[in-house]
Amino acid sequence: MARMNMIQAINSALEVTMARDPDVIVMGEDVGYFGGVFRATAGLQAKYGKTRVFDTPITEIGIVGVAIGMGAYGLRPVPEIQFADYIYPALDQLVSEAARLRYRSAGDFTAPITVRSPYGGGIFGGQTHSQSPEGIFTHVSGIKTVIPSTPYDAKGLLIAAIEDNDPVLFLEPKRIYNGPFDGHYDRPSKNWGSHPAGEVPEDHYRVDLGTAATVRVGNDVTILAYGTMVHVALNTIEELGIDAEVIDLRTLVPLDIGAIEASVKKTGRCVIVHEATRTSGFGAELSALVQERCFHHLEAPVERVTGFDTPYPHSLEWAYFPGPVRIGEALKKVMKD
Amino acid sequence: MTDERARANLQPLSLHVPEPRFRPGDPVDFADVAVPPVDAARRPDTAADPRSFHELAFGLVRVLELDGTAGGQWNPRLSPDQMRRMLRNMALTRAFDERMFRAQRQGKTSFYMKSLGEEAVSIGAAAALADDDMCFPSYRQQGILLSRGCPLVDMMNQIYSNRGDKLMGRQLPIMYSEKRFGFFSISGNLTTQYPQAVGWAMASAAKGDTRIAATWCGEGSTAEGDFHSACTFASVYRAPVIFNVVNNQWAISSFSGFAGAEATTFAARAIGYGIAGLRVDGNDALAVYAATQWAAERARTNGGPTLIEHFTYRAEGHSTSDDPTQYRSAGEPNAWPLGDPVVRLRDHLIALGEWDEERHAQMDRELAEEVRAAQKEAEKNGVLGHGMHQPFETMFEGVFEQTPWHLKEQQAQMIAERQAAGI
């Protein structure tokens, strides 16, 4: 075991899978010699050489399209998109190609690629360094969407994603690369130093895709969250003294519906929290599923605390971000009934 | 708005919107389409610097003269057997297309796309590539599958979406996938296969393999962003890939001017990327063979990618859903100055004394019979619209390697709904 922040855990996952499988290759803008703008691929090129870890031209269509072709050859590429805000040029390759390849060829060809991309706000990233596009991809059949919230999960989920034979979008909440953000932007930031999930095995392990984690057991209300919002939600309920059950979804597709259903049936209340904009966001799917499966157990309408339906603003970030105040209000509202 | 007075002495700008030379009803005259003699194009060393390809990117590599003689530096000097095999594959592709086009008109399938007039592009390339080189085709390279020996019945089963369809009725007709014949799954989304082919080639190089990749798109599709990304990647990593641009003059109803052909050639695009560029007579099977063989050798010796523009003409409508008389002159296909690829190779073999009209007619009869027999066989597995030939619950399978709960639930719901409805 070693102390790792999320970047180090991701780096370790790449290192471990590359050591075990010569077909794993890492590619993307600035990932090679430099080691990535967030340092996630630091040291990998020196260790595994330029044919396994290489810098690419600045073309997201090309990065994902080339990775798909490498996957069809028999490699297991892990392309990086520098910010999730820049994944849109590659949308056609992801939606029309990676996600459909197994289905349209009846298994003749597959795309065992893992697209890593930093996502989410809380860093004054403005409109194009803060977005949370997961809902675009959860809407696409054939692609898995994974979002870790701790160093331990980041490594285990990334290894599982790389070893998975389906295309995986692996979104990394960059706000918590260095520490578990509690939503209080005006207080000193924490690091992963004392967090139990900052303790990470140095060798190979997997956190299975499709499994949620109940990170706090409680009785009064279920909070469904992922990424940075897991920590913001946990801190908010501690501050308010609410006995909430917090479920970190970890994988959005395929979703751990069993964990959600069992918890909401127990608590009778549900608050969904995500950074992404509200309309047609993944929270809408979660809300619909809870309503369909737990209707007779619900004591109050399902609440969603999300980013507003606007582009991500720069100077108004902390009014936009679904922080402790907004989560607290939603919890009070569902607990009132 | 701008200040009118301050700009009053400037010429007004005008927007240029390209217009094809001939519209329905117009007489056709292709006199300005340059058809240089076969000895006009030099054959450079396969290691030549990409910067030295200017005249080849604007010229036309040709081997067969229209009178049936062959010559020039690019003459691949194939044996009569090799040429007869290519002739047969082109004629087979034409017979197959004819039969399947008719099957669509008879309502046996929803859709078909012919490659009439472009058979040399596929067959010439397939003959020059190794059988295990990987092809990333568009939807108009059925000739590659036929060249590589894919059973006609398998292709027809896919076209009919019947019980024998290996793609389980999931794909639009002609969107084949045949890994065993090195033929990548065809996508409806144009030019997505270009960067994928580069990736496959890069993987082959990274692994120290000896296989190369080849990919095809139409001239219209070169306008897609994938084309640019693929060329950049291929150049940067010197990927062992062959880019084929089939310039058949038409992208559905848009003439090649809307892809930029008024200003330059498609082969010339290669120069800007630092890729070798060849412009080839696409109706000359021997020229296509020679260019592909050259590009394959360049790729196999780590010389990097080549872009080949195949200058040809789409003699039929875009698809069974298209009527070309609505947008182009009916006289165009017959006036095309580069002739018919089957006729040209046939005449060459006849001129060599290695073929004759009678043998050709006999071959056509045999191929028509072969296709007819395959069709009969395929139709035993059903045709489109006559019931569901695949168990309907299979539509939920293969989205992922393992079917997740939500798809299993939808599958169970569908089965229950159909049972309740008595169907």
| Domain coordinates in residue numbering, chain A | 2-200, 213-336
CATH topology of domain A2-200: Rossmann fold (3.40.50)
Look up the ipTM and state it: 0.97
Nearest CA to A322 among A240, A233, A190, A189? A233
Taking the Cβ of residue A285 and every Cβ of chain B, the question of whether any pair is shorter than 8 Å is answered with no
Nearest CA to B38 among B281, B276, B245? B281
Q: Is residue B179 part of a domain?
A: yes
Taking the Cβ of residue B162 and every Cβ of chain A, the question of whether any pair is shorter than 8 Å is answered with no
CB B186 within 8 A of CB B176: yes
Separation in Å, CA of A30 to nearest CA in chain B: 15
Report the number of distinct structural domains present in chain B.
Answer: 2
Q: Is residue B8 part of a domain?
A: no
- Residues B41, B150, single domain; the answer is yes
At B360-407, the pLDDT tens digits run 999 999 999 999 999 999 999 999 987 778 889 999 999 999 999 999
Contact partners, residue A90, CB within 8 Å, separation at least 6? A60, A61, A63, A64, A65, A81, A115
Which candidate from A69, A107, A257 shows the least CB-CB separation from B200? A69
For residue B318, pLDDT beyond 90: yes
Contact partners, residue B361, CB within 8 Å, separation at least 6? none
At B62-79, the pLDDT tens digits run 999 999 999 999 999 999
- Residues B72, B184, single domain; the answer is yes
Best mutation target, A68, A70, A144, to test chain B (most B CBs within 10 A): A70
- Residues B153, B197, single domain; the answer is yes
Q: Is residue B214 part of a domain?
A: yes
Taking the Cβ of residue A51 and every Cβ of chain B, the question of whether any pair is shorter than 8 Å is answered with yes
Q: First and final CA of chain A: distance in angstroms?
A: 46
Taking the Cβ of residue B358 and every Cβ of chain A, the question of whether any pair is shorter than 8 Å is answered with no
- Residues B416, B310, single domain; the answer is no
What residue type is B50 in one-letter code?
Answer: P
Token digits for B413? 């719901």
pLDDT tens for chain A, 337 residues long, are 999 999 999 999 999 999 999 999 999 999 999 999 999 999 999 999 999 999 999 999 999 999 999 999 999 999 999 999 999 999 999 999 999 999 999 999 999 999 999 999 999 999 999 999 999 999 999 999 999 999 999 999 999 999 999 999 999 999 999 999 999 999 999 999 999 999 999 999 999 999 999 999 999 999 999 999 999 999 999 999 999 999 999 999 999 999 999 999 999 999 999 999 999 999 999 999 999 999 999 999 999 999 999 999 999 999 999 999 999 999 999 999 6
- Residues B198, B125, single domain; the answer is yes
For residue B1, pLDDT beyond 60: no
Catalytic residue among A129, A195, A231, A274: A129
pLDDT value at residue B9: 85
| Contacts of range B410-416, beta carbons closer than 8 Å, 24 or more positions apart | none
- Residues B125, B192, single domain; the answer is yes
Q: Residues of A numbered 197-256 whose beta carbons fall under 8 angstroms of chain B's beta carbons: which are they?
A: 210, 253-255
Q: How far apart are CA A281 and CA A277, in angstroms?
A: 6
Q: Measuring CA to CA, how many Å separate B90 from each of A106, B99, B152, B285?
A: 29, 14, 14, 9
Contacts of B405 in chain A (CB under 8 A): 254, 257
Token digits for B103? 């099957």
Q: Residues of A numbered 25-44 whose beta carbons fall under 8 angstroms of chain B's beta carbons: which are they?
A: 25
Best mutation target, B167, B176, B180, B185, to test chain A (most A CBs within 10 A): B185
At B76-108, the pLDDT tens digits run 999 999 999 999 999 999 999 999 999 999 999
The CB density around residue B152, as the number of other CB atoms within 10 Å, is: 21
For A93, which residue in chain B has the nearest alpha carbon? B192
Structural domain boundaries enclosing B196: 31-386
User: Which ranges in A212-316 belong to alpha helices (H)?
Assistant: 228-240, 257-267, 282-294
Q: Is residue B217 part of a domain?
A: yes
The CATH code of the domain that includes B313 is: 3.40.50.970
For residue B7, pLDDT beyond 80: no
- Residues B93, B189, single domain; the answer is yes
DSSP state of B61: B
Q: Residue A146 forms beta bridges with which residues? A: A170, A251
- Residues B215, B169, single domain; the answer is yes
Q: How far apart are CA B413 and CA A224, in angstroms?
A: 27
Taking the Cβ of residue A257 and every Cβ of chain B, the question of whether any pair is shorter than 8 Å is answered with yes
Q: Is residue B73 part of a domain?
A: yes
Q: Is residue B26 part of a domain?
A: no
Q: Is residue B17 part of a domain?
A: no
Backbone φ and ψ of B151, nearest 5°: -60, 135
Best mutation target, A93, A104, A138, A141, to test chain B (most B CBs within 10 A): A104
Tell me whether residues B206 and A75 touch, CB distance under 8 A. yes
Q: The pTM is what?
A: 0.97
- Residues B405, B310, single domain; the answer is no
Where does A213-336 sit in CATH, by number? Answer: 3.40.50.920
Q: What angle is formed at CA B211 by the lines to CA B205 and CA B212, rounded to 5 degrees?
A: 80
Taking the Cβ of residue A165 and every Cβ of chain B, the question of whether any pair is shorter than 8 Å is answered with yes
Contacts of B398 in chain A (CB under 8 A): 102-103, 106-107
pLDDT confidence tier of residue B3, bands split at 50, 70 and 90: low
Least confident of A230-234, B1-5, B180-184, B198-202: B1-5
Q: Around A163, how many Cα atoms within 13 Å sit in the side-chain half-sphere?
A: 20
pLDDT value at residue A42: 98
Supply the DSSP string of A253-265, one letter for each residue.
Answer: ETT-HHHHHHHHH
Q: How far apart are CA B143 and CA B135, in angstroms?
A: 12
Q: How far apart are CA A181 and CA A215, in angstroms?
A: 15
Q: Residues of B numbered 175-194 whose beta carbons fall under 8 angstroms of chain A's beta carbons: which are they?
A: 175, 177-179, 184-185, 187-189, 192, 194
- Residues B116, B148, single domain; the answer is yes
Is the link from the previous residue into A254 a cis peptide, with omega within 30 of 0? Answer: yes
User: Which ranges in A39-131 belong to alpha helices (H)?
Assistant: 44-48, 60-73, 91-92, 101-104
Contacts of B192 in chain A (CB under 8 A): 65, 92-93, 96-97
B314 classed as catalytic: yes
- Residues B329, B397, single domain; the answer is no
Catalytic residue among B84, B314, B328, B344: B314
Which candidate from A67, A109, A257 shows the least CB-CB separation from B185? A109
B54 classed as catalytic: no
Contact partners, residue B302, CB within 8 Å, separation at least 6? B205, B238, B240
- Residues B411, B353, single domain; the answer is no
